[in-house]
Amino acid sequence: MVIAAVGEINGKADHLHNMHAWRLDKTKNISHMVTADGLVKTYGKKKEVLAVDGVSFSVDKGEIFGLIGPDGAGKTSIFRMLTTLLVPDGGKGTVEGFDIVRDYRQIRSTVGYMPGRFSLYQDLTVEENLDFFATVFNTTVRENYALIKDIYDQIAPFKRRRAGALSGGMKQKLALCCALIHKPTVLFLDEPTTGVDPVSRKEFWEMLGRLSRQGITIVVATPYMDEAALCDRIALIQSGRILSVDTPAGISGDYPDQLLAVQADNRMSALLKALDKNNDVLNSYAFGEYAHVAVKKEESGMVGTLGSYLEKEGFGRTEIKPVQATVEDCFIQLLK
Amino acid sequence: MKSFLAFVKKEFYHVLRDRRVLLILFGMPVVQVLLFGFALTSEVKNTRIAVVDYAKDNASREITDKVAASRYFDIDRNLLSHEALLDAFREGKVKAALVFPAGFERDLAHQGTAQVQIITDATDMNVAGQVTAYLTRIITAYQADRSVPSRNTYQITAETRMLYNPELRGAPNFVPGVMAMVLLLVCVMMTAVAIVKEKEMGTMEVLLVSPMKPALIIISKAVPYLILSLVDLIAILLLSVYVLKVPVRGSLALLMGESTLFIITCLMLGILISIQTASQEVAMLISLVAMMLPTLMLSGFMFPIENMPYVLQLLSDILPSKWYYIIVKMVMIKGAGFMAVWKETAILLGITLLLFGVSLKKFKIRLG
Amino acid sequence: MQNDLREVAIKTDQLTKRFGDFIAVNAITFQVKGGEIFGFLGANGAGKTTAMRMLSGLSIPTSGQASVAGFDVYRQPEEIKKHIGYMSQKFSLYEDLTILENLEFFRGICGLSGEEIKTKSAELIDDLGLRKEAKKLVGELPLGWKQKLAFSVAIFHHPKIVFLDEPTGGVDPVTRRQFWKLIYDASDNGITIFVTTHYMDEAEYCNRVSIMVDGRIAALDAPANLKKQFRAASMDEVFYQLARGAKRSD
């Protein structure tokens, strides 16, 4: 059975749009809020570590754009280049039309940035941190309070507490407030939910959604595949290279194979071993309680074929059903 | 301007909320001054001395009494023989001995000359030298008392005056040295560590991505330490004047002015160190090893520079603390005016400007 | 699942740890069977880490009973340490030694002979496909390889139980699954796996899962049963339902 991707047609259109190089209107009637064009970054005395290898993408106003990839994929380096903290070794980039190398002053005045670790002042209170960052950006807390109110309300009861004494989830909320307090047009969030409990993670993403609807462009890096689904568009990145840029639905839709979910006697380990031996199986791996099995798209009747195979291998209660590829499935497929 | 002030305010919060920093900033200078002023002195007091008196006459007893009365000596025992004396030295029970031969007074009265033997334990040559000097002085004083000016002999009496520090106390030497060290410690180490801390904690990243000029970020970090070191300076001066009895002979304004210059030099050093290092430990190590130790050893504070090999003398010349130490001694202890220290001041100013220029050049507006 | 008469690898009874007035772990009672893959879940601050430290002989409980690999946690913590493997996110191998040097070191401290060390190290390196990298510094390896290596080191002395503290943080989905393959293999060989993780799909890979909330065990069962019980489509939802009501967070 061939699975039709939801929104496949939309996905394809966006897909084409992004696959071509963007065209920046030089008179600052900019078409994209953030652009990366062949960004390259190397580390080491002899430039031997290639952290970012020709990364290109663009982000539109009001979008939530996710940079999805594991540790070491290059996400932080890309962020640091876009926020003007590092100079690229190759390629170009713009934020709000400003060049990331030449116009760093303008960019630094308008973006909001939340780096990977908690990077606010542990020995200042919540209030003091917020006040400080507001003043640094030549504004006051009161001026833009409306923007952060929803978030701040959750930590307001602790406003006199030292930031270092807050829980992980609250720290992230405070960091977000401090990044927002000067009403940035673009928000760069580098792994904002790593190490934060699942409940706070959900709340955080809800906040991001509300911000995006207010017109703030958000570029967020995360290693969590499930958060990818919450973005408007995502770029899958691994080892410094972009594997794919599209809406989550588009990426799912582009999945080239047929995907089946298989359950057999609750014996994952044995099941995977059995599937490994099967020649029809392009790839198989654990995925929660099911094993995901990729087979050729054109093959029909795979459910039955696979079922008989597993029975022969000695599995009793098997359950096989077609499923739609998630971002994680796509990532795994792209890595192959 | 507002953001600069916000920065300075934040820095004060950091300092005042960190108990360890406060301890170093305020506890340490006080402890140092008191330690050096009272406990760690190269003066020799209460040296145990043995007297072997073969003469047992008036003269020997009078000299012995004078020695006993001096605060420099404690007469340990009146020994009866040379052997006992050697034993006492070997066991370390006495550090010096005064030996009167038999017939001491008789020789003095009839022949006009007599001999007295001073034996010291020279394993510590510092002590030995001073002990010999004191004893000789006591004996010379006795001799002067006793002698009658004679028309037939030429006599040259040397009148000695120890300017600025007649009692040869240690404190006037140490106070300027402690001042240099404390200001160095506070301004170089603390500033360097404070700036590097931001780098380590990741807050520097966030600060860089803001409208604040990085140069202002750095300066705002130095400002609290400038103010705190001035407070330290005043504390040291107060302690020095009222507790150690070392007054400020010269112009207080000049002293404060020169000190402020030296503070700025140290702040520049701290900033330069922070630009070049990435971790607090390294910053601290460099401050201690590259700044404090040379200051201690090569600024003239503990050991005279003139006695050092030429290479070290050159090294000493590039230490700002050496010049400041000279300035403070001139102004505070000797009461000299600006004209006496203009050369040293110019050198200090030159060093400061050089450091400023280098810092500016090496300054990083980005990471990595 | 095999027969339930397998030996009990971990057994706790009202295990409690207090810090002053604060009850970090509040009378937890559960058992882990030999060869099981047991997921020990909970939000930060729920008491997971404290409980693990008690079970791995690193901390003495305040009250309650517990035995690990047959040894009592009060009286025989040193024996426990000898018979378990431990892999923590914070430290596993020495970054400035090569792979080979690390293996030799860890095997050496566990009293294997020089010959055994050589052969077993070579075997392990081959198994993991790291022969070309054997002389590389561990610090230069990608995170995924470090994790796999650390796991292998944790189990090389064939402990009965291995404790894994968030072993797969930050790596890509493929590497994570490779790691779990190692876990499956170890479990097939009879080693009990006690693992904590923030990835809820990994919770599904476990035979049974316990979820701690505010110091207590709020749920303990096979993932399939928990999903039925909480009418949830995934372990993520089960966790969310339980953690949402938590009063404590880190």
Cβ atoms of B208 and B365 within 8 Å: the answer is yes
Cβ atoms of A168 and A54 within 8 Å: the answer is no
Tell whether A227 lies on the interface with C, counting CB pairs under 8 A: no
Q: What is the pLDDT averaged over residues A10-20?
A: 42
In chain A, whose CA is at the least distance from the CA of B11? A124
Return d(Cα B336, Cα C138) in angstroms, integer.
64
Residue B168: predicted pLDDT: 64
Extended beta strands in C113-222, E state: 161-165, 192-196, 208-213, 216-221
Q: Is the pLDDT of residue A15 over 50?
A: no
Residue C111: predicted pLDDT: 63
Return d(Cα C28, Cα C216) in angstroms, integer.
6
Q: Shortest Cα distance from B287 to chain A (angstroms)? A: 25
Query: Which among A15-29, B15-29, C225-239 has the top mean pLDDT?
Result: C225-239
Nearest to B33 by CA among B225, B182, B184: B182
Backbone angles phi, psi at C160, to 5 degrees: -75, -35
- The model's confidence at residue A26, banded by pLDDT at 50, 70 and 90, is very low
Token duo for residue B164: 């600025």
Q: Do chains B and C touch, with touching meaning 3 or more CB–CB pairs less than 8 Å apart?
A: no
Residue C112: predicted pLDDT: 65
Q: For residue A160, which amino acid is it?
A: R
CA Rg value for chain A: 23
Q: Is the dihedral of CA A51, A56, A59, A64 positive or negative?
A: negative
Residues of chain A with pLDDT > 90, as a percent, come to 61
Q: What is the pLDDT averaged over residues C103-110?
A: 73
pLDDT in tens, A72-99: 899 999 999 999 999 999 999 999 999 9
Chain centroid offset of residue A67 CA: 4
Residues of C in contact with A197 (CB under 8 A): 43-45, 243, 249-250
* Contact pairs from chain A to chain C, CB under 8 Å: 83
Tell whether A289 lies on the interface with C, counting CB pairs under 8 A: yes
Neighbours of B126 (CB within 10 A): 10
Give the burial string for B47-79 (b: 16+ CB within 10 Å, else e): bbbbbbbebebebbbebbebbeebebbebbeeb
Neighbours of B41 (CB within 10 A): 15
Return d(Cα A187, Cα A65) in angstroms, integer.
10
Interface touch A272/C181, C-beta < 8 Å: yes
Tell whether A123 lies on the interface with B, counting CB pairs under 8 A: yes
Return d(Cα B359, Cα B264) in angstroms, integer.
13
Return d(Cα A292, Cα A284) in angstroms, integer.
6
Cβ atoms of B178 and B235 within 8 Å: the answer is no
Cβ atoms of C172 and A331 within 8 Å: the answer is yes
Distances in whole angstroms, Cα of residue C7 to Cα of each of C29, C66, C70, C183, C192? 17, 15, 9, 19, 11
Cβ atoms of B293 and B284 within 8 Å: the answer is no
Distances in whole angstroms, Cα of residue A224 to Cα of each of A230, A327, C241? 11, 10, 20
Chain centroid offset of residue C146 CA: 16
**Higher-scoring residue by pLDDT: A5, A312:** A312
Q: Is the pLDDT of residue A148 over 50?
A: yes
Interface touch A289/C204, C-beta < 8 Å: yes
Residue B6: predicted pLDDT: 87
- The model's confidence at residue A6, banded by pLDDT at 50, 70 and 90, is very low
Residue A3: predicted pLDDT: 38
Return d(Cα B97, Cα B51) in angstroms, integer.
6
Contacts of A63 (CB under 8 A, 6+ apart): A33, A212, A217, A218, A232, A233
Token duo for residue B335: 């009461």
Residue C249: predicted pLDDT: 60
- Residue B114's H or E segment, with its range, is none
Interface touch C172/A288, C-beta < 8 Å: no
Return d(Cα B4, Cα B213) in angstroms, integer.
9
Select from C90, C172, C227 the residue whose CB has the most chain A CBs within 10 Å, as the one to mutate to test that interface.
C172
Cβ atoms of B341 and B258 within 8 Å: the answer is yes
Residue B368: predicted pLDDT: 66
Residue A5: predicted pLDDT: 42
Q: Is the pLDDT of residue A174 over 90?
A: yes
Residue A269: predicted pLDDT: 85
* Complex-level ipTM: 0.82
Tell whether A79 lies on the interface with B, counting CB pairs under 8 A: no
Bridge pairing between strands C208-213 and C216-221:
antiparallel
Nearest to C155 by CA among C193, C203, C117: C193
Q: Shortest Cα distance from A294 to chain C (angstroms)? A: 14
Cβ atoms of A41 and A52 within 8 Å: the answer is yes
Long-range contacts of B195-198 (CB under 8 A, 24+ apart): B195/B221, B195/B270, B195/B271, B195/B274, B195/B275, B196/B274, B196/B277, B196/B278, B196/B279, B196/B280, B196/B282, B196/B283, B197/B280
pLDDT < 50: residue spans in chain B? none
Cβ atoms of B288 and B274 within 8 Å: the answer is no
Return d(Cα B170, Cα B41) in angstroms, integer.
6
Token duo for residue C26: 């509040």
Backbone angles phi, psi at A195, to 5 degrees: 80, 5
Which positions 168-207 of A are in contact with B (Cβ < 8 Å)? 178
pLDDT in tens, A237-275: 999 999 999 999 999 999 999 999 998 887 888 899 999
- The DSSP symbol for A22 reads P
Give the burial string for C119-134 (b: 16+ CB within 10 Å, else e): ebbeebbeebebeebb
- The model's confidence at residue A1, banded by pLDDT at 50, 70 and 90, is very low
Q: For residue B153, which amino acid is it?
A: T
B352: left (phi over 0), alpha (psi -120 to 50) or beta: alpha
Token duo for residue A322: 């077609």
Does pTM surpass 0.90? no
Select from A43, A50, A199 the residue whose CB has the most chain C CBs within 10 Å, as the one to mutate to test that interface.
A199
Tell whether A144 lies on the interface with B, counting CB pairs under 8 A: no
Cα angle A123, A126, A127 (rounded to 5 degrees) comes to 115
pLDDT in tens, C189-215: 889 999 998 788 889 999 999 999 999
3-class secondary structure, A314: coil
